[in-house]
Amino acid sequence: MKRLLRVGLSSALSLVLIVLCFRGTDLQAVWGALTRAHSGYILLAVALSLLTFVVRALRWRVLLSHLRSGIPFSSLFSCTVIGFMVSYVLPGRVGELTRPLLLAAKEQMSKGSVIATVAVARMMDFLTVLFLFSVYLIGFSSRLPESGSEWMLEFRSRGILVGAVILLGVIALYTVVLLRIHLFDRLEAWTRAGGWARRVVDFFHSVVRGFEILKGGRALAGSMVLTLLAWCLIDLSILAGLRAFEVRLDFVDVFLLIAFLAVGIAVPTPGGLGPYQAAGLFCLMTFFGVGQDLAFAAIWAQWGVAVIPVMALGAILIWREGLTLGQVGRMVGREGGMPS
């Protein structure tokens, strides 16, 4: 029952946001923009998007290196793509558990340890998106239009301050990760067990505890570099998709768009449908002055570039593994404590 309720609510949210995105849109103009899109740029966007999964698989190998070396790249790549495909198809973000459970089963590894590496990878993705967002705010928010809504003008005028706060927060968290053992030992010695200060310390310790799977700075540095590379490829993929519609954003402008799209795709709706389009439309129209019809066509095409090839490739790979979506859902429900 709870699962059906979640599916119903996520589908309803998706439908409502899609309907809102269609309001005021000239469908004939949108179709015209789609038919005029440069197919070469679209194909380049798809290729770059799929290349990010190669980098994600390599990063996962680095994160898993303390558990086992020599894990076949094919297993890492297959489980990564299948996990994302399952997240797009099944409700509740079960793909986050699918990929570590599949890999643990294939390679006879500890489920808990492999799940921890995926949690760290997602945290690093989140921090990298925040980092790119802060870079845009600090160095490039002055490029935004000097006229527009009050909200956007406030965003432009305070961009450097907000970006600096976010950047300092990201740097501080990574510093805490590197010094976590000595830092939290000292903080726990200075605070009383059961007191409010100890509860604050315990909370922050729980935030960074997942990074304890990284036994040395080399693994952290390597995974950070690969994470940044993956998001730069995502940036280039989005940029190529926008160029297909002659939307003239620069590489750094996409840093801002990525932050909005990341929020949209993170909302647990089927395939990110609805929140992804709403967030992308808002950013393109509000901050970059792209017309509604063109922005609508470009953002739907970008959703197709990011989601449809992954779903197709994931379906092929899950078939090669001899599995079905139903079996994967039951496996995650059984192992992850979720209702099936």
Q: 334 or 18: which carries more pLDDT confidence?
A: 18
Is residue 291 a contact partner of residue 25, using CB atoms and an 8 Å limit? no
The more confidently predicted of residues 157 and 248 is 248
pTM: 0.85
Nearest-10 crossing angle of helices 196-208, 159-178: 90
pLDDT at 45 over 90: yes
Q: Is residue 220 scored above 90 in pLDDT?
A: no
Q: Give the tokens for residue 334.
A: 């059984």
137/132 Cα distance (integer angstroms): 9
Q: CA-to-CA distance for 98 and 111, rounded, in angstroms?
A: 11
Q: How confident is the model at residue 111 (pLDDT cuts 50, 70, 90)?
A: confident
Per-residue model confidence as pLDDT tens digits over 58-89: 999 998 887 788 899 999 999 999 999 988 88
Q: What is the pLDDT, as a whole number, of residue 208?
A: 66
Q: What is the pLDDT of residues 180-219, one digit of tens each?
A: 777 777 877 788 787 888 787 777 776 666 666 665 667 7
Do residues 298 and 242 lie in contact, with contact meaning Cβ atoms separated by under 8 Å?
yes
Sequence-separated (6 or more) residues with CB below 8 Å from residue 338: 3, 92, 94, 97, 332
